[in-house]
Chain A
Amino acid sequence: MWSYIVRRLLLMIPTLFGITVVSFCIMQLAPGDPLLIQLGATGLAGQTTQTREAYLIQKRDLKLDRPLLLNFRYFRDYSRAVYWAGHYRAANESQIAAELAVLAHDPERLPKGQERLAFLRSLGIPRFRTRLEDPAEHGRLAQAVAAYVQVFCEDLGHHGVPFAVRILQSRDVDRQDKIGLIHALNSMVVEPFVFTYSAHPREEETPYVVGAWWLWWRRAESTTRPLTSTERAELESRFHALCQMSQNQLLEELDYLDPQTVRFFAEKLLGDSTLREKFVASLALRRLVREPLRLDVPADAPKSLVDEVAENWMAHYQLYRKRYEPSALLRVAYVFTDTQYAHMVWRLVTFQFGRSATKTREPVATKIWNAVIVSAPLMLMAELVTYLIAIPAGIIAAVKRNTLTDRAISLTLFLLYSIPSFVAAMLLLLFFCYGDYLKWFPMIGLHSEGAENFPWPRYLLDYLWHAFLPVMCLSLFSLAGLAMYARTSMLEVISQDYIRTARAKGLSEFTVIFKHALRNALIPILTLFSSFLPALLGGSVLVEYIFGIHGMGRLSWESIEQKDYPTLMALIYIDAIIVLVSILLTDILYVLVDPRITFSAQGEEK
């Protein structure tokens, strides 16, 4: 018994793996870049810097910049690719177009022409070869190159940083290419330095925060005013007070700081102090210093500025060395774990579904919960109606086999079986709600207007009045199937020997049917229980669509319609998991209820 259950649980692991694979494949099928679609951008050109940044952060959040299945990026040498990326980031579109014109005919005329061409080809611009042949296309192709180089940098992410920094250090790179590389670095890394702690400061953050400020202080120390001892004493007491404040008070109080007192906070942060003090000091400094470190340069920056920024990037690389050059073991591990698929599996397994992609950015979990509490009661009623009607109907038909009653019940069931639920829903709406014929029931929704103010008996009645037709439609189809199943299983039991024995003993027909036959006939019906829970939580897309009920089915439809991929993914995954669990429960229940089933054969022939 237990070994059977354990075996079933073990079999669930490959199935779960399969579920994630299917979900992943479905997400990959989505045409275009789902994130770009949801930001409403038509292309790279039409975006402001802000939407671009939001897009990037989200992309990195969902790890969509990683390779799909295997990540060999830590083992690749990107130095040439990064160099050319920098080169094309620095050039404007007319320069690129001019270069393309040369590359199209005689690549050898440019230094390293073949290498440039190879890099441009590797970007994956659609129809690159044919477009390169056509001089009229070069203008638009140059635009595409600029956009694709940016995407290349963004997708390469932090894997490009070591190479970029190394090239920046070398002397034989001209100023323009250095500027391009700095642009490329800015695309690769969002927020290179952290200047403040997170909301719940941890000791591990200290080296990064302190490191960033230290870099700033090294340059800024000479320009700040030294403090007198009275000032210092006053600031000390004030600082002490700041450290005692709550978060909100603190943020408010920081607005009143004097910009002249920067030195004090810098010394506090860089000196020997507690975590709380460092936290407060970093917040204060962030408030007082507008731009501590320059990380981006304009296109016509002087050499001194370029060198300063390059130095900052080098410092960044030094500070985050652990991330850029992980140990060999980690590199091997990252091949499998730092991929889109692995990250998706992790999100699914830990039930982190994130936020929906619609304008409201609601958390997916809330969205699903709101839908479940609408459709679950409805489906529960539908299931109850189904079981309460179908099983008696099936049993009556079986007991009165081949009589007029049996024929009538069977025929009705068969006709019900042939009516699709949405057709039934539309016909019922047409005849009972619309008012051209009868107006017995409301058209859409589950509550009348202002129902929240009703006393509860009226609220309940109102709900039942609204729910009557949807419940009917939801139960129609499964009702017919279940009743037919009940009939067959009852017939099978009635023809068994032990029923004949019971009759021969002289038991009354009632006892034979309800005490001997019914119990055994219900066992096969238990298998249908596996569809109970999924139906309860899954809702019905079509019926909910027609009756305007905002339940699970409607949510699935809306998320497909609005290309809300996070919600869609969560729905698919949750549905599959629920089915998996309910099949497991049913199997176990089945084994528990029916002693004739041997445990050993279950796994083989099921």
Chain B
Amino acid sequence: MTAGQSYWQIVWKQFRKNPFSVGSLWVLAVLFLLAIFAPVLASNIPFFYHDERGTAWPWFRALFNPEQAVDYWFNLAMVAFFPWLFGVVVHAVRYRRRYPGKLLPVGKYAAAYVLAILGLACLLMIPGFRPDNRYRARTFPEEEFARQGRARAVYPLIPFGPTEQDMDSPVKPPFYRKPQFIPNPDTEEQVLFWRKSNDGFPHILGTDDVGRDVLVRMIYGLRISLTVGFVAVGIYMVIGIVLGAIAGYYGGFVDILISRIIEVIMLFPAFFLILTLVGLLGQSIYIIMVVIGLTGWPTVARLIRGEVLKQRNLDYVAAARATGATNFRVLFWHVLPNSLSPAMVAAPFGIAGAIITEAGLSLLGFGVRLPAPSWGLLLRQGSENYHYWWLVVFPSLAMFITVTAFNLVGNGLRDAMDPRLRI
């Protein structure tokens, strides 16, 4: 170990040696960007709409008033992304110049991003700052179509919304494009079939049973999957780390009590317990996150407890105590940072697991409710009739890629952190 290298720098150095893990980090970055920029990629609300009555910017207003609460946070992340990126680049250039050869503080950048999003949310809570969505009931594609030639609108890349239905084209295969004219059965005459301005655009991955675009739903479903994964794991990491550390450090009665609780919760089969709780409490993405969080912490707590038990007998703890640090300070400032690695390894696997759990719940009909987009719900629609293979194959593929990416990151992290396992 060379001087001046922190533990995380060593971990990162080791991590970079594994091409699969680094590759999956890139995959995850792409997935995150897809989730953050979903409205730019796909929305049935135009950026800009102009007719004889004037000009409107509905997309920007809708950004701050989405139907799903999850979308609100991701939209804020999108708004904050470029200012943050600019700040990071400027800072990085200056940092490189000042400390050549040093690694960039990635964790601080990520924290800055989260703070930027939270700050934006606080700002928008001030009355008058948040743009109201006065176009809530207006459907611009239809309006524009009705005023053909006299209205102009600019749409995102894919002009379909995640919940936009089209009863004329249910369960259509990938690359289906609506015919512009269809023959009238009575007169054999061709009649116009298009009713909306976005009807001419092909459904790249097909449509579901009420004509919602599968690709768009998958992009927006990515937001739900990632949110569930991160928030649920965040909840159980916090609970697990705190309780595990307390149990390991203080020992005695506290340890016995917490260990018993851990043991009891681990006795119940995880998926069944989550399914029961969600079934009893009701279906909502928040309840799912909280329930996964509340049932997942014992694993983390056990890992942390074991590590703290090892660490608390080391010399540096005695040294810290000798300087007069309180138990609380010794535990959370000295012991805990050194005991985090097993829990950190568990986190990516946990996120993958939470994503799978959410999809499974939705597949069973206990997850998020229609019309919210979720991969599990697409699979559920597919499981009703396997003839519509695109409802099964594409969400499966998306899930496989996401889960594999998280697992590979976890694998790389484990190899980097625990040299004993790297055989």
Residues of A within 8 A of B (CB): 14-15, 18-19, 21-22, 26, 29-31, 401, 414-415, 417-420, 422-423, 426-427, 429-430, 433-434, 436, 488, 491-492, 495, 534, 538, 541-542, 545-546, 556-557, 560-561, 568, 571-572, 575-576, 579-580, 583, 605
Nearest residue in B to A560 (C-beta to C-beta)? B279
Could you say which of B261, B386, B403 has the most chain A C-beta atoms within 10 Å of its C-beta? B386
Q: Give chain A residues whose Cβ lies under 8 Å from the Cβ of B389.
A: 430, 436
Minimum Cβ distance to chain A for residue B364 (Å): 6
* CB-based contact B400/A418 at 8 Å: yes
Residues of chain B with a CB closer than 8 A to A422's CB: 359-360, 363, 379
Q: Is the interface of A mostly helix, strand, loop or mixed?
A: helix
Q: Judge if B423 is at the interface, Cβ distance under 8 Å.
A: yes
For the complex, is B319 an interface residue (Cβ under 8 Å from A)?
A: no
Query: Are A18 and B403 in contact, CB atoms less than 8 angstroms apart?
Result: no
- Complex CA gap A14/B392 in Å reads 46
20 A-B pairs with CB atoms under 8 Å apart are A14-B260, A18-B264, A21-B264, A31-B281, A414-B404, A418-B400, A419-B403, A420-B360, A422-B379, A423-B399, A426-B382, A495-B423, A541-B272, A542-B363, A542-B364, A546-B383, A556-B276, A575-B269, A579-B268, A583-B267
Are B421's CB and A534's CB within 8 A? no
Contact B423 A556 (CB under 8 A): no
**Bound form: Cα–Cα A195–B314 in Å:** 77
Query: Assuming A418-B407, A420-B356, is B280 touching A29 (CB within 8 A)?
Result: yes
From residue B349, how far is it (CB to closest CB) to chain A in Å?
10
- Known contacts A488-B423, A541-B271, A560-B279; 10 further A-B pairs (Cβ under 8 A): A414-B407, A420-B403, A427-B392, A436-B387, A541-B275, A568-B276, A576-B264, A576-B268, A579-B268, A583-B267
Whether A556 and B273, one on each chain, are in contact in the complex, defined by CB atoms closer than 8 angstroms, is no
Residues in B158-211 with C-beta less than 8 Å from chain A: none
A418 CA to B349 CA, complexed, in Å = 10
Hey, which chain A residues are within 8 Å of B359, CB to CB? 420, 422
Chain B contacts for A415, CB-based, 8 A: 404
Q: Bound state CA distance, A418 and B403, in angstroms?
A: 6
Q: Does B317 lie at the interface of the complex (its beta carbon under 8 Å from any beta carbon of A)?
A: no
Q: Are A29 and B363 in contact (CB under 8 A)?
A: no
B352 at the interface (CB under 8 A from A): yes
A90 to B5, CA, bound (A): 84
Interface centre among A415, A557, A560 (most CB of B within 10 A): A560
Indicate whether B265 reaches chain A with its CB closer than 8 angstroms: yes
- Residues 364-382 of B, flagged 1 when their CB comes within 8 A of A and 0 if not, give 1110000000000001001
Assess the A15–B264 pair: CB atoms within 8 A: yes
B263 on the interface (CB 8 Å rule)? yes
Inter-subunit contact B268/A418 (CB<8 Å)? no
Given A436-B389, A488-B423, A541-B364: A22 and B268 within 8 A (CB)?
A: yes
With A29-B281, A434-B387 given, is the CB distance from A538 to B396 under 8 Å? no
> What separation, in Å, do the CA atoms of A583 and B263 have in the docked complex?
10
- B280's contact among A31, A427, A605, by CB below 8 Å, is which? A31
Which of chain B's residues have a CB closer than 8 A to the CB of A22?
264-265, 268
* Distance in angstroms between the alpha carbons of A436 and B279 in the assembled complex: 35
Q: Which residues of B contact A26 (CB under 8 A)?
A: 276-277, 280
Q: Is the interface of B mostly helix, strand, loop or mixed?
A: helix
Question: Which residues of B have CB within 8 Å of A572?
Answer: 268, 272-273, 276
- How far does the alpha carbon of A423 sit from the alpha carbon of B282 in the complex, in Å? 25
Interfacial chain B residues near A14, Cβ < 8 Å: 260
Write out the residue numbers on chain B whose beta carbons fall within 8 Å of the beta carbon of A534.
269
* Closest B residue to A429 using CB positions: B386
Q: CA–CA, A492 to B418, complex, Å?
A: 14
- Residue contact A15 to B393, C-beta cutoff 8 Å: no
Q: Which residue of B lies closest to A569 (CB)?
A: B276
Contact: A18 with B282, CB < 8 Å? no
Hey, which chain A residues are within 8 Å of B281, CB to CB?
Answer: 29, 31
Q: In this assembly, does B411 line the interface, its C-beta being within 8 Å of a C-beta of chain A?
A: yes
Among A19, A401, A538, A542, chain B packs the most CB atoms within 10 A around the CB of A542
Given contacts A420-B360, A488-B421, A542-B360, contact A426 B271 (CB under 8 A): no
In the complex, what residues of B have CB within 8 A of residue A423's CB? Answer: 379, 396, 399-400
Nearest-Cβ distance from residue A517 to partner chain B, whole angstroms: 14
* Complex interface: chain B residues within 8 A of A583 (CB): 267
Shortest distance between the CB of B19 and any CB in chain A (Å)? 13
Write out, one digit per residue, whether chain B residues 125-164 have a CB within 8 A of any chain A CB (1) or not (0): 0000000000000000000000000000000000000000
- A325–B382 Cα distance when bound, in Å, is 63
Residues of B within 8 A of A434 (CB): 386-387
Are B399 and A420 in contact, with the CB atoms below 8 A?
A: yes
Tell me which residues from 241 to 287 in chain B have a Cβ below 8 Å from any Cβ of chain A. 260-261, 263-269, 271-273, 275-277, 279-282
A433 to B386, CA, bound (A): 9
B282 touches A29 (CB 8 A): no
Give the chain A neighbours of B273 by CB distance below 8 A.
572
B residues less than 8 Å from A429 (CB atoms)? 386
Q: Let me know if A430 and B392 touch, CB within 8 A.
A: yes
Closest to A411 in B: B20
A26 to B396, CA, bound (A): 32
Instruction: Determine the residue in chain B with the shortest Cβ distance to A546.
Output: B383
The 3 closest A-B pairs by CB, nearest first: A18-B264, A560-B279, A418-B404
Q: List chain A residues, Cβ under 8 A from B279.
A: 560-561
Give the chain A neighbours of B366 by CB distance below 8 A: 560
Q: Which of B266, B280, B387 has the most chain A CB atoms closer than 10 A to its own CB?
A: B280
Chain B residue with the shortest CB-CB distance to A28: B280
CB atoms of B396 and A426 under 8 A apart: yes
In the complex, residue of chain B having the shortest beta-carbon distance to the beta carbon of A491: B423
> Which chain A residue has the least Cβ–Cβ distance from B265?
A22
CA gap between A401 and B422 in the complex, in Å: 12
Min distance, Cβ A476 to any Cβ of chain B, angstroms: 12
Chain A residue contacts of B280, Cβ below 8 A: 26, 29-31, 560
Cα A580 to Cα B263 with chains together (Å): 9
Is there an interface contact between A18 and B269, defined as CB atoms closer than 8 Å?
no
**A426 to B263, Cβ gap below 8 A?**
no
CB distance from A440 to the nearest CB of B (A): 14
Question: Which one of B260, B356, B421 contacts A15 once the chains associate, using CB atoms below 8 Å?
Answer: B260
**Whole-angstrom distance between the alpha carbons of A332 and B387 in the complex?**
66
Taking CB atoms, residues of chain B closer than 8 Å to A401 are 423
Minimum Cβ distance to chain A for residue B25 (Å): 16
A468 CB to closest chain B CB, in angstroms?
Answer: 17
A16 nearest in chain B by CB position: B264
CB distance from B390 to the nearest CB of A (A): 10
- Whole-angstrom CA separation of A417 from B349 in the bound complex: 11
- In chain B, what residue has the closest Cβ to A553? B272
* A418 CB contacts on chain B under 8 angstroms: 352, 400, 403-404, 407
CB closest chain-B residue, reference A26: B276
Interface contact B275-A560, CB-CB below 8 Å: yes
Decide if A417 touches B407 in the complex (CB within 8 Å): yes
B272: contacting residue among A430, A492, A556, CB under 8 A: A556
Least Cβ–Cβ distance between A419 and chain B, in angstroms: 6
A546 to B384 Cα, complex, angstroms: 10
What is the CA–CA distance of A283 and B267 in the complex, to the nearest angstrom?
Answer: 51
Cα distance, A561 to B273, chains bound together (Å): 14
Residues facing A in B281-296 (CB within 8 A) are: 281-282
Residues of B within 8 A of A427 (CB): 392-393, 396
What residues on B are CB-neighbors of A19 within 8 Å? 264, 267
Alpha-carbon distance between A434 and B387 when the two chains are bound, in angstroms: 7
B307 CB to closest chain A CB (Å) equals 12
| Shortest distance from the beta carbon of B116 to any chain A beta carbon, whole Å | 33
Please indicate the chain A residues that have their CB under 8 angstroms from the CB of B400 in the complex.
418-419, 423
Collect the chain B residues with CB atoms within 8 Å of residue A29's CB: 277, 280-281
For A414, A429, A541, A605, the residue with the greatest tally of chain B CB atoms inside 10 Å of its CB is: A541
CB neighbours (8 Å) of B309 from chain A are: 605
Instruction: Note all chain A residues with C-beta closer than 8 A to B364.
Output: 541-542, 545, 557
CA distance A422 to B376 in the complex (A): 10
Q: Which residue of A lies closest to B306 (CB)?
A: A605
When C-beta atoms are compared, the residue in chain A nearest to B423 turns out to be A491
